[in-house]
Structure 1
Amino acid sequence: MTDGYLVSLMIGALFVLIVLGVPLAFATGFIATVFGVVLFGDMALWILSSRTYGLMNEFTLLAVPMFVFMATMMEKAGIGEDLFRAMNMWGRRLPGGLAVQTLVVAVILASMSGIIGGEIVLLGLIALPQMLKLGYDKKLAIGTVVAGGSLGTMIPPSIVLVFYGLTANVSIADLFSGVIVPGLILAGSYVSYIVIRALMNPQIAPKPEFPETCEPIGWRERFNLILPLFIAFCVLGSIYGGIASVTEAAAFGAVGTIFAAWVRGNLSWDMLIGSGLTTFTTSGILFWVTFGANALVGVFTFMNGQSVVTSFFTEDLQLTPLQTIIVINIVLIFLGMFLDWIGILLLTVPIFLPLVVSLGYDPIWFGVIFCLNMQISYLTPPLAPAAVYLKSVAPEGVSLLDIFSASWPFIIIQAINLTIMVLNPQLILWLPNM
């Protein structure tokens, strides 16, 4: 059999296992083992084990559980609630002020965590009921929460970019720098959409009837709020300034969140144990998927699969570089409707990245473009992880169909931003190039 037939057979077998409901980690590991042994004999087992062992020795991989622990501790310490309360004092006079403050809080939370699940749950518990109670349009309120809560992908320290940096072997600090401008533009696009809609139709985002909707924040509460923001600033600043590696900065952030919880007076053994268990569970899932996909990519490379894919795009389809990028984005968006981001990253980046680089594009740029695609995938059904997270805590009367329907305007905004970044790579690269 030719390399092309073998690659098609491998992809088809993987698709069948996923459709049958086999967990991605086991599906990829099984396909890698079977194809490896059949094609290369017992030596394949040694190759697969050595690749997994080499990945486990990656020092940067330690940053993942640190960032997850940091996010979990901040959630359990009630920092998100204080943030929302503080923003309520500032945003009430703006058109669509409650929705705008929800997005501002989402950006701040994203800069302290890098994962989206906790943010959406937190905003779903705090912001969504308040918007609905105030009389906000149901779709606008729901869409704001799912879109804003998903910004953790596009705001450093993004876990997606950490894994992309490991997979693509590029600087994670440069990736963090490159995603700042697109992330802020995307958040600003959400805010602009909400403000414009509120100006056109004030009934969909009414202002509070009373000038004061909450009690003023005291000095101690302000300090409790500033401290975690300062920790997040130190974590990112140490990375950008070259003072610490990503792993070292993540470890500092994890210790800093423990200190912040202690200063707030709510640090307890139950909180530490609960945060640790959540960290182990989340990291374990990510690592098992990583090991399985890494093994599959190893066999795929030995099968000359990357050359097959490159030849297919450049010779068989005869696409221009821009047309090739468009097709890659369409593939990523389609996969995002059915697979989680970690599986898509580990399965597609080793295949698409050599092709993208051969066409003259920067791997840092492609990493941010990949993140934008995953941002879309969080909201697009049928998988739509953001919708599932919100449904788990949504008030009574909010159905999954309501969440899907409310997400489409924000998906369109994401697609527009993706198009802008594809056509203007310097918006991504100018900070890393500095």
Structure 2
Amino acid sequence: MMAYGPALPLSMLGVLMALLFTGFPVAFCLAGVGLFYAAGAIVFGSFNPMQLFLIVSRIWGSIAENQVLVAIPMFIFMGVMLEKSGVARNLLEILSVLMRRVPGGLALAVVLMGTIMAATTGIVGASVVMLGMLALPVMGERGYDKATTAGVIASSGTLGILIPPSIMLVIMGDLLAIPVGDLFTGAVFPGLLLAGLYVVYVVVTAMLRPRLMPRSTEPYAGTRRDLVILLLKGFVPPTALVIVVLGSIVFGIATPTEAAGVGAFGATVLALCAGTLRPRLLKEVVFDSALTNAMIFGIFCGATLFSYVFRALGGDDAIIHVLEMLDLHDWWLLILLMTLIFLLGFFFDWLEITLIILPVFRPIVAALDLGDSIPSESILLWFAIIVAVNLQTSYLTPPFGPALFYLRQVGKGSLRLEDIYKGVIPFTLLQLAALALCILFPAIVLWFPKAVGF
């Protein structure tokens, strides 16, 4: 690499970004660029061919044998089972009944539903599609503004990548060598803060502009006893499952992998109790879970190959060289990294950004001195969480925000793309406000991990 300076590894990033725009599978883009540059470096004598054999052992050791990553398939199974078994549908119906007299009650029910479902799965696509299918027709019937409806559904469905047990946090823990329990506890208050900002926005908007979110005038047809039974059957079980899974992790009773197993088993039991667990349903859940897992771990393998070749060609030194040339203060460097991640979110998914950016910037962030408010031993934890908050925007920012296209597919014939784009703008601003608060007040992230003793 030294013969070529930083140009060679930096060009790897440029070629990768260009290929990702083609729509070719991300895993193949990562692996293909890595192999292409490795082959070129072998020809010019900058890369030892024997190093390629180390990539296989690295994929096996860091992915296949990684006990932390075992939690991902089970968390995915848990979320897919709750969605397909109808448990999530019942939960939304109950929340809409409870919120019927509150300004913007149905929109609030969607936000609360998204928050609860976020604590069961990190599969944003499934959450957005489910919320869209359940809430979109009802909100349309009640006269809700289309743009507001789209914004509420899309933003609520993305909470799953931040609120634990988030698959993204599991991956971040592995990439940054941070205990997943630390990340889960650190993300609790930022996740609730973001959900709280959504709630405040919905209530204030409904009060100031009631025509956007008309209040329901239909009384509840059942008795108080019916409502209690409804709560016991549809609200308490999934909420209790969330508390058991998260509580066991937060208080050190179980590892994330063990808690994921409990969650997958508990979701299956809930489906059985709801009377919807059938062989065909189980087959669909296993199939969908396997597809999602194959996608995630395929990208893992491609990213491992890419990052190995990138480092072997001096990529880490190239990044440090560029940052030294900029000569930025540590806080300005942090702002630059956050801005870069935000801009990448317009074009790429969180998984791509996480696997490419975090390993590169880890040593740089670990060396930052941001004052007494962020101890050096906690800086990587804090950085991981603010990155997670930042990556919320990657699902909502056009032109390639995945949540926008999930909702577009669900709302064909009732939602225009313009309505969706217009609706997500205030929620993207709320996400940036949450990011600013977590940066200005690090205790939002760091207090809870310290309080529970991690």
* 1:291 to partner: Cα distance: 0.7
Distance 1:213 1:393, change over 3 A: farther
3-state SS of paired residue (1:282) = helix
The answer on whether the counterparts of 1:373 and 1:418 sit within 8 Å (CA) in structure 2 is yes
1:263 pairs with 257, 265, 273, which one? 273
Which segment is superposed worse, 185-194 or 33-42? 33-42
Which letter maps to 1:231? L
Equivalent residue number for residue 413 of structure 2: 396
Alpha-carbon shift at residue 123 of structure 1 (Å): 1.1
Match of residue 63 from structure 1:
71
Q: Distance in 2 between matches of 1:149 and 1:12?
A: 31
Query: Which residue is 1:358 aligned to?
Result: 367
Matches within 5 A, 1:144-155: 144-155=152-163
Shift of 1:76: 1.0
Secondary structure of the structure 2 residue equivalent to 1:2? coil
Mapped partners of 2:446, 2:335: distance in 1: 19
1:220, distance to aligned residue in structure 2 (A): 6.8
> What amino acid sits opposite 1:233 in the alignment?
I
Instruction: For residue 21 of structure 1, report the CA deviation from its aligned partner.
Output: 3.4
Matches of 1:214 and 1:43, distance apart in 2: 72
Gapped regions of structure 2 (runs ≥ 5): 370-375
- Corresponding position of 1:50: 57
CA contact (8 A) 2:190 2:445 kept: yes
**Any idea what SS the aligned residue of 1:332 has?**
helix
Q: Indicate yes or no: 2:395 matched with 1:378.
A: yes
1:328 matched to which residue of 2? 337
> How many angstroms does 1:163 deviate by?
0.6
Partner of 2:373: none
Identity, % of aligned pairs?
A: 35
CA distance in 2, matches of 1:114, 1:154: 8
- Of stretches 185-194 and 419-428 in structure 1, the one that deviates more from structure 2 is 419-428
Aligned to 1:176: 184
What secondary structure, in the 3-state scheme, does the structure 2 residue paired with 1:319 have? coil
Aligned partners of 2:345 and 2:391 also within 8 Å? yes
1: CA distance, partners of 2:290 / 2:222: 37
Aligned counterpart, 1:73: 81
User: What amino acid does structure 1 have at the position aligned with 2:332?
Assistant: Q
Q: 1:337 aligns with which of 329, 343, 346?
A: 346
The aligned residue for residue 16 of structure 2 is 14
CA distance in structure 1 between the aligned counterparts of 2:359 and 2:207, rounded to whole angstroms: 46
Q: 1-side partners of 2:230 and 2:427: how far apart? A: 37
User: How far apart are residue 213 of structure 1 and its match?
Assistant: 6.7
1:346 aligned partner, one-letter code: L
Corresponding residue of 1:119: 127
What's the Cα RMSD here? 1.7
Q: Which moved more, 1:35-44 or 1:320-329?
A: 35-44
Matched residue, 1:280: 290
Q: Give TM-score, length-normalised by structure 2.
A: 0.92
Which amino acid in 2 is paired with 1:297? Answer: S
Q: Is the 8 A contact 2:245 2:259 kept in 1?
A: yes
TM-score (norm: length of structure 1): 0.96
Question: Counterpart in 2 of 1:304?
Answer: 314
Partner SS, residue 298 of structure 1: helix
Structure 1: 5+ residue runs without aligned partners? none
Aligned equivalent of 1:349: 358
8 Å Cα contact 1:379-1:385 kept in structure 2: yes
**Cα separation, partners in 2 of 1:195 and 1:52, compared to 1, 3 Å:** same
Cα separation, 2, equivalents of 1:194 and 1:21: 35
Question: Given that residues 129 and 395 in structure 1 are in contact (C-alpha distance below 8 angstroms), is that contact kept between their aligned partners in structure 2?
Answer: no
Cα separation, partners in 2 of 1:141 and 1:35, compared to 1, 3 Å: same
Q: Does 1:200 align with 2:202?
A: no
Q: Residue 47 of structure 2 corresponds to which residue in structure 1?
A: 40
Shift of 1:335: 1.4
C-alpha contact (below 8 Å) 1:224/1:260 kept by paired residues: no
Change (3 A) 1:23 1:106: same
Counterpart position of 2:137? 129
Q: Which residue identity lines up with residue 280 of structure 1 in the other structure?
A: A
Q: Distance in 1 between matches of 2:156 and 2:209?
A: 21
Which residue of 2 is the match for residue 108 of structure 1? 116
The answer to whether residue 243 in structure 2 is matched with residue 233 in structure 1 is: yes
Deviation at 1:311, TM superposition (A): 3.0
Give 2:302's aligned residue. Answer: 292
Match of 1:415 in 2: 432
